[in-house]
Structure 1
Amino acid sequence: MAEVAYFTKEGLEKLKEELQQLKTTGRANIAKAIAEARDKGDLSENAEYDAAKEAQGLHETKIAKLEETLANGRLLDESKIDTSKVLALSIVTIKNTKNGAKMTYQLVAESEADLKAGKISVASPIAKGLLGKKVGDKTEIQVPAGKMEFEILEINR
C-alpha cells in the first residue's frame, strides 16, 4: 500500500501541472522521437529506436508514480494546523545551541522539499527530530555531521 503524503495547496497544484505536462507535451515528444527513429529503417539494428522506446517506458513509469502520489496525497488546511507543537507544514524557527545559529524551516512533503526556499522534507533527520516538540523544547538530532542540539524558538503555520 502506498504511503499517504500531505501537501500544501501550491505543492498539490505543482504536481498536477507536472502530471498534465508529462501526459500531453511529454508523450507527444516521445511519440515524435519514436516515429523519427522508425523512419530510419531496420528496427532490429536501430539504436535510436531502442533508446526512444526505453525513454517511453521511463516516462510512463514517472507518470504512474505521479498519479499514485496524487491519489494518495492529502491537502492540509494550513489554517487548522496546531501551532502548539511541530507538525507537517509547521514553520519552525530553531537555534543551534552550540553556535547560536538560527534557522527557519517549513516541514513539507518530500516532493515539495526545497532547502533554498526553507522547505525541508518531513522525512529528513532534522524534521523527524522536531516533530511533536513544543516551543522551548531542546532536541538532539543525529545528522550526517554528527549529533546536533537544537532549541525550538517559534512554531507558526
Structure 2
Amino acid sequence: MKPDGNPVTAAGYAAMKARYDHLLGTERPEIVEIVSWAAGNGDRSENGDYLYGRKRMREIDREAAHLARRMKAARVIDPSETPDQSRVFFGAVVTIADEDDARKTVTLVGDDEQDAAHGRIGWSSPMARALRGASVGDLRTVRLPAGEKEWEILAIAYPGQEHA
C-alpha cells in the first residue's frame, strides 16, 4: 500500500491547519497593526518596527503559502484501516534492532510531521523506504551517508492495536 500524493495522518493535518490558522488569524493581523503604527511615525528607512514588521509579514506569507500547498496536496490516511497489518506501511509503529541489538521504535508518518527526536520518521526518508513492506523477522538494509546499516524488524503495530 503506497500512499499517493502527500500522505499525512489526521493529527498531522490538524497540526498543519492549526499552524496555518494561527499565522493568518493571529500573527499576521498583529504584525499588520505594528507596521501600520510604525508607518505613521514618519521616516520608514530607519524605522526598525516598520522594517522588521514588513520582513516578518513576508515570512508569514511564505509559510502560509507553503502550508496551503502542502494541505492541498495532502491525503489524510487512517493507519488503523491498513488491510495488511502484519507488514510495515504508512502509520506503522515498528520496533527494530541493529547488529548490536540496539533497539528503537519508529513510527512512519508524513514528511510534514516527521520528528526524529520522538521516533517519527518521514514516509520518504531512507529508513522508511527500507522498512516499507517488511514483516516481523525481516532484515532490512538502510543506506545512509555514513554507510549501510542492517535492521531486524522485531514488532509491528498500528494505532488501536497492541504490538504484534
TM bucket, shorter chain? 0.7 to 0.9
Instruction: Give the conservation status (yes or no) of the 8 Å contact 2:79–2:90.
Output: no
**Partner residue, 1:9:** 10
Give the aligned CA root-mean-square deviation in angstroms: 1.8
1:84 pairs with 69, 83, 86, which one?
86
Structure 1 consecutive aligned stretches of length 4 or more whose deviation exceeds 3 Å = 44-48
**Partner residue, 1:149:** 150
State the 1:45 CA deviation: 4.4
1:26-37 matched pairs, under 5 angstroms? 26-37=27-38
Count the aligned residue pairs.
Answer: 154
Quote the Cα distance in structure 2 between the aligned partners of 1:91 and 1:127.
11
Counterpart secondary structure, 1:40: coil
1:17-56 matched pairs, under 5 angstroms? 17-56=18-57
Quote the Cα distance in structure 2 between the aligned partners of 1:39 and 1:84.
64
State the 1:5 CA deviation: 1.5
Contiguous gaps of at least 5 residues in structure 1: none
- Asked if 1:75 corresponds to 2:76, the answer is yes
TM-score normalized by the length of structure 2: 0.84
**Partner residue, 1:103:** 104
